[in-house]
Amino acid sequence: MNIIVCIKQVPDTTEVKINPQTGTLIREGVPSIMNPDDKGGLEFALQLKDKFNAHVTVITMGLPQADAILREALAMGVDRAILLTDRKLGGADTLATSNAIAGALRTLEYDLVVAGRQAIDGDTAQVGPQIAEHLDIPQVSYLEDIDFDGNKTFTLRKQTDDGYQVLQMDAPCLVTVLASAVKPRYMNMRGIVEAYQREVEVWGADRIDVAEDKIGKAGSPTSVMKAFPKSLKPAGATFEVSAEEAVDIIVEKLKERHII
Amino acid sequence: MDISQYKDIYVFVEQRDGAVQSVGLELLGKARELADRVGEKVVALILGKGISDKAQELIAAGADKVLVVDNEYLKSYLTEPYTQAVSQIILEQKPAILLLGATIIGRDLAPRLSARTNTGLTADCTQLEIGESGELLMTRPAFGGNLMATILCKNHRPQMSTVRPGVMQRIAPDVSRKGEIVNYNVNFDKAKINRVRIVEEVKECKCVADISESKILVAGGRGVGNAEGFNKLRALAQTLGGEIAASRAMVDAGIIEHCSQVGQTGKTVRPELYIACGISGAIQHLAGMEESEYIIAINRDKYAPIFSVADIGIVGDVHKIVPLLNEKIKNIKKF
Amino acid sequence: MDFGLSKTEELFLQMIREFAEKEVKPLAAEVDEDERFPLETVEKMAKIGLMGIPIPAKYGGVGGTNQMYGMAVEELSRVCGTTGVILSAHTSLCCAPILESGTEEQKMKYLPKLASGEWIGAFGLTEPNAGTDAAMQQTTAVLDGGDHYIINGSKIFITNAIYAHVYVIFAMTDKSLGNKGITAFIIEKGTPGFSIGKKEKKMGIRGSATTELIFEDCRVPKENMLGQIGKGFGIAMKTLDGGRIGIAAQALGIAQGAMDETIRYTKERKQFGRSISQFQNTQFQLAELETKVQAARMLVRSASYKKDNGIPYSVDAAMAKLFGAETAMEVTTKAVQLHGGYGYTREYPVERMMRDAKITEIYEGTSEVQKMVIAAKLLK
């Protein structure tokens, strides 16, 4: 079985702080990490490798520094790592991104494509399903658990808005995974020692199977008109008083607003 | 693509087990406002099995026309049959705008549709407006909610957007409104549909109430600590006639159900009163609650970001203050 | 030397920090309070290869550097001093002498199981009357027939003792020769005549299962002699040179952990209407302590670098341990002070860290011994 896991390098948005004066982002010192949902997906793939001796490839599209998360994936135990990087791929929205990655996947063998549900820097949850559509394969998103019959059928547990579904899906297919579904393994020591001795394949746009007008800025139907800091309403008064006084203040306000 | 051929605002109205989801009605409210600006129609799409009777409700909520696709394949949501139905409608009807709820269903369906019909999609919008030349301005939080971005889909149609539940407001239902109801015929590709099969469906949410509908929320975060701490919040919520909610930390710790989570990966709420207890106020949490009408924050850390959105902030220990507050309000309510 | 970390080391640091934070830190207070050896943590460490970092791949290790090993001990000790010393004693005091002085057969027999963490290692040199003066060994090993030694005596303060499977120990094969009469042996758990004695009740690193080893007519096959007869003292000293890097790293980790806690606490704690981090006294103290911690780190890195590159490092290791231990003691003591009354309670980890720090000035050569090593080199 061949599994391809699509991963993304993202800024750790939980570490991002806002300058309270200007309302702008403080990006300085924000670490770059493997997107958490993608790491969950990678763990599922590695579990299938452990159980069914699957061959696991990771692919990422991004800037050259995204190499770091591929090394991490190698140290976690994947067999092959591909960095898709090209200026022609820059400025892509989700549709163009999915076209580029689907273009790369067309040149590879796969039974299962795994992606994270969404990336914490964009939170769109779009690229995975869009890749599946380009490849004309079925998808199950919001995956919580996966099992394989050893032949061609996966049994999957999918989160729904009010519970879960258990589904069966035939290979080749795509899943998007929730980080909360699984605890990713740690990189192992031998993997770490070998990570930088192994090869990360660097692919350019000419290496993938997709029309040039489908990728990068040209292939993006959407564009950002403007970006602006969120308007912040002025903060109310803050009190540092005893618990009794605090309760009095709150009760007073609740009365004023006719809540009690 | 000749975009001038595309008109009207379409809303995919999600139903689950025959119940129209409130986000669909909220989107109809927004679509109504946008359609009136540009002089176009609001068209509601409702897909399912045995759901034809819901059409009138959608007209009352603002639709001029309802397209009903009633088919066995659509009984429970699955990606492929829903994508086939909606994409056929898009290709045949050429809507200018298509809005979907940013629920798990909407976020599964919308990207698949955008790829099949080769158009742009903007996720989780918090604001939708019509621009000077009639284009849709889609504003959404970016970078973990730290920035806002306004997105355009200039040369592709429909302009597609998902909107989180609780963000838009529905209009008061008008049962006297008239509208057209069309039973839409879709040609399904069975072979493709059969690639995914339902084995079992389980509804397991134990939440009694939908927190996005609640007028008063008492929410807890890391500072509340554990389930015992949460009981203090629960008591206060009960006294106030509200519900409890939580930050992601508490949900991840398994103390509170996911359906009570407020924030980027949970629900967006805008109650009349939001009491944030022991919540530091990560940007992802603020994104889900800062539109609340009145916010009271209680936290030990004076520098917690939650205070920047609070109407009143109390620097102190939730474990002391919340029970005291509960007692005091109980006493007042006795009289 | 290169003061920066290699990409491989950075990758390693990312992993070990996450591991320490998620797997080790949550147990630290309990391990201390209950004096419990965290066997489940050792199993987790084994699973990802932490028990065999500097062991070559051909002996089942990961073929990592001593630099990485030191970083591992530092990061574990940053959250739990006990866990740090478990790894240090296992790696530096048991795996290392077998790797450096063992025969090919011994290496093939012991190292794969030690490196995989299936077996835990320990080291026995200290005796009731032979501490700093290691030459005063009372334990004897007498040849019995041609193929066995009979060992009699006892060892004290042995880290990992209860849970270990393999022990590198030292005994007098010829008392008349003093230092030159000491020989090293590899003892396996379950060897007849070998038993574990009483468990110490310690001030700090309370989970590390420190006990006595007792040898009563313990018959050990001759093949278990480590190195040559009479060469045990040299093996012990060489082992302790390496061990000092481990303890220096442990001390450094404890110091860094106390810094982390204190920085957080002084930002949160308010007195006179301000967080105490806004007082210049706090700021100056933190600045001085941080400088020392960073200096200690440079000494550890420098000693590890030399060991990795085959450059003599014993004085560097002594300096790293001397300065690291003193820094750990100073930082943790001041951390408790900056925490005030709370720092004296077990609610805050600095109380434990201060107790854990003290041993780093004592074991694997007291601070005074380190000064002797350094001075001897200076005045040679």
Q: What is the pLDDT averaged over residues C97-115?
A: 98
All residues of chain B having their beta carbon less than 8 Å from the beta carbon of residue A232 are 308-309
Q: What is the pLDDT averaged over residues C197-203?
A: 95
List all chains that touch chain B, counting a touch as 3 or more CB pairs closer than 8 Å: A, C
Query: Does the pLDDT at position C18 exceed 60?
Result: yes
- Report pLDDT for B209: 66
Q: Is C364 a catalytic residue?
A: yes
- Among B283-287, C104-108, C187-191, which stretch is predicted with the lowest mean pLDDT? B283-287
ipTM score? 0.90
- Separation of alpha carbons B335 and C17, rounded Å: 57
Q: What are phi and psi of B302, to 5 degrees?
A: -60, -25
Can you read off the two tokens belonging to residue B166?
Answer: 């609780």
Which overall architecture, per CATH, does domain B3-193 show?
A: 3-Layer(aba) Sandwich (3.40)
Domain boundary assignment for chain B:
3-193, 211-334
CATH homologous superfamily for the domain A2-214: HUPs (3.40.50.620)
Query: Does the pLDDT at position B205 exceed 70?
Result: no
The tens digit of pLDDT for each residue in B136-181 reads: 999 998 776 778 899 999 999 999 999 988 889 889 999 999 999 9
Say if residues B67 and B52 touch (Cβ distance below 8 Å).
no
In this complex, is the C-beta atom of B114 within 8 Å of any C-beta atom belonging to chain A? yes
- Separation of alpha carbons C124 and C168, rounded Å: 6
Top-ranked range on mean pLDDT: pick from A187-196, B1-10, B146-155, B307-316: A187-196
Query: Does the pLDDT at position B206 exceed 70?
Result: no
- Among A51-65, B176-190, B209-223, C251-265, which stretch is predicted with the lowest mean pLDDT? B209-223
Residue given tokens 């001397």 in the structure block? C322
For testing contact with chain A, the best of B113, B312, B320, B326 (most A CBs within 10 A):
B312
Q: How many Cβ atoms are within 10 Å of C63's Cβ, its own excluded?
A: 18
All residues of chain C having their beta carbon less than 8 Å from the beta carbon of residue B300 are 268
Which residue among C6, C7, C64 places its CB closest to the CB of A189? C64
Q: How many helices (H) and strands (E) does chain C have?
A: 12, 10
Tell me how many residue pairs between chain A and chain C have CB atoms under 8 A apart: 50
- Report pLDDT for B78: 97
In this complex, is the C-beta atom of B322 within 8 Å of any C-beta atom belonging to chain A? no
In this complex, is the C-beta atom of A239 within 8 Å of any C-beta atom belonging to chain C? no
- Report pLDDT for C370: 97
- Separation of alpha carbons A141 and A132, rounded Å: 11
In this complex, is the C-beta atom of C62 within 8 Å of any C-beta atom belonging to chain A? yes
- Spatial neighbors of C176 by CB under 8 A, at least 6 apart, are none
Query: Does the pLDDT at position B81 exceed 80?
Result: yes
Tell me how many residue pairs between chain A and chain B have CB atoms under 8 A apart: 262
> Mean pLDDT of all residues in chain C?
95
- Spatial neighbors of C174 by CB under 8 A, at least 6 apart, are C180, C181, C230
Q: Measure A248 CA to nearest chain B CA, in Å.
A: 8
Q: What are phi and psi of A201, to 5 degrees?
A: -75, 130
Contact between B301 and C270 using a beta-carbon 8 Å cutoff = no
The tens digit of pLDDT for each residue in C265-294 reads: 999 888 888 889 999 999 999 999 999 999
- Report pLDDT for B165: 83
Torsion of CA C34, C39, C40, C43, to 10 degrees: 160
The tens digit of pLDDT for each residue in C174-184 reads: 999 989 999 99
- Report pLDDT for B284: 83
List, as ranges, residues 117-156 from C with C-beta within 8 Å of A. Answer: none
Say if residues A220 and A99 touch (Cβ distance below 8 Å).
no
Interface of B with C (CB under 8 A): 300-303
- Separation of alpha carbons B259 and B261, rounded Å: 6
All residues of chain B having their beta carbon less than 8 Å from the beta carbon of residue A132 are 112
Q: Count of alpha carbons within 13 Å of A50, Cβ hemisphere only?
A: 10
Top-ranked range on mean pLDDT: pick from A38-47, B18-27, B166-175, B312-321: A38-47
- Separation of alpha carbons B160 and A123, rounded Å: 16
In this complex, is the C-beta atom of B333 within 8 Å of any C-beta atom belonging to chain A? yes
Q: What are phi and psi of C328, to 5 degrees?
A: -60, -45
C341 band by pLDDT with thresholds 50, 70 and 90: very high
Say if residues C156 and C126 touch (Cβ distance below 8 Å).
yes
List, as ranges, residues 282-301 from B with C-beta within 8 Å of A. Answer: 282-284, 290, 294-296, 298
Share of chain C above pLDDT 90, in %: 93
The tens digit of pLDDT for each residue in B105-140 reads: 999 999 999 999 999 999 999 899 999 989 999 999
Give the pLDDT of chain A (260 residues) as one tens digit per residue.
Answer: 999 999 999 988 777 766 656 556 676 778 899 999 999 999 999 999 999 999 999 999 999 999 999 999 999 999 999 999 999 999 999 999 999 999 999 999 999 999 999 998 888 899 999 999 999 999 999 999 999 999 999 999 999 988 899 999 999 999 999 998 999 999 999 999 999 999 999 999 999 999 999 999 999 999 999 888 776 667 788 898 899 999 999 999 998 888 88
Q: Which chain A residue has its CA at the smallest distance from B126's CA?
A: A230
- Spatial neighbors of A254 by CB under 8 A, at least 6 apart, are A260, B273, B329
* β-sheet with B65-70: strand ranges across: B121-125, B159-163, B97-101, B9-13, B42-48, B65-70, B180-183
Q: Which chain A residue has its CA at the smallest distance from B103's CA?
A: A161
Q: Which chain A residue has its CA at the smallest distance from C17's CA?
A: A186
> Per CATH, which fold does B211-334 belong to?
Rossmann fold (3.40.50)
Tell me how many residue pairs between chain B and chain C have CB atoms under 8 A apart: 5
In this complex, is the C-beta atom of B207 within 8 Å of any C-beta atom belonging to chain A? no
Q: What are phi and psi of B125, to 5 degrees?
A: -70, 145
- Report pLDDT for A21: 61
Say if residues B157 and B40 touch (Cβ distance below 8 Å).
no
Q: How far is CA A234 from CA A21, B143, B279, B309, B312, in A?
A: 11, 22, 19, 7, 11
All residues of chain B having their beta carbon less than 8 Å from the beta carbon of residue A139 are 79, 108, 112
Residue type (1 letter), C79? V
Domain boundary assignment for chain A:
2-214
> Which member of C74, C127, C261, C364 is catalytic?
C364
In this complex, is the C-beta atom of C272 within 8 Å of any C-beta atom belonging to chain A? no
For testing contact with chain B, the best of C264, C266, C269, C270 (most B CBs within 10 A):
C270
Q: How many Cβ atoms are within 10 Å of A147's Cβ, its own excluded?
A: 15
Q: Measure B321 CA to nearest chain A CA, in Å.
A: 5
- Report pLDDT for A18: 64
Q: Which chain A residue has its CA at the smallest distance from C53's CA?
A: A189
- Report pLDDT for A231: 67
- Report pLDDT for B207: 58
Q: Which chain A residue has its CA at the smallest distance from B335's CA?
A: A260
Q: Do domains B3-193 and B211-334 have the same CATH topology?
A: yes
